[in-house]
Amino acid sequence: GENVEQHPSTLSVQEGDSAVIKCTYSDSASNYFPWYKQELGKRPQLIIDIRSNVGEKKDQRIAVTLNKTAKHFSLHITETQPEDSAVYFCAAREGGGNKLTFGTGTQLKVEL
């Protein structure tokens, strides 16, 4: 089955700096890669996603890049703000259906 590795496990940045979180996956058949943000005590929220036929996608301050050959994808957050502080999870979907395999999460802390 699919295996997703996520790094780093914790990330501390200054407000206004950029943050990058990286994930690798094992199953070349995986075709969909979402990113979720989870604040303490709240539900995971989908913030951006990318399909395997696209190399990059951007939504305001957030972007995701995908390298199918190397089987890795990354989340980029620019101009970080304190409200970006949360745990971020990457995931990969293998084949049909909606079974997601999640990474172990990155605790992002944006300091003033």
Partner 1 sequence: KAGVTQTPRYLIKTRGQQVTLSCSPISGHRSVSWYQQTPGQGLQFLFEYFSETQRNKGNFPGRFSGRQFSNSRSEMNVSTLELGDSALYLCASSGFGASNEKLFFGSGTQLSVL
Only one of the segments 21-29, 58-66, 74-82, 98-106 lies at the binding site for partner 1 (rule: CB under 8 A); that segment is 98-106
Only one of the segments 20-28, 52-60, 70-78, 91-99 lies at the binding site for partner 1 (rule: CB under 8 A); that segment is 91-99
Of residues 79, 100, 98, the one with CA closest to residue 90 = 100
CB of 67 to partner 1, least distance (A): 20
CB of 107 to partner 1, least distance (A): 12
Is 101 a binding residue for partner 1 by CB under 8 A? The answer is: yes
Judge contact between 86 and 75, C-beta under 8 A. no
Query: Is the Cβ of residue 34 or residue 73 nearer to partner 1 in the bound state?
Result: 34
Is 35 a binding residue for partner 1 by CB under 8 A? The answer is: no
Is 92 a binding residue for partner 1 by CB under 8 A? The answer is: no
Q: How big is the chain, counted in residues? A: 112
Q: What is the CA radius of gyration of the chain?
A: 13
Which residue carries 């990474």 as its tokens?
103
Q: Sign of torsion, CA 35 29 51 75?
A: positive
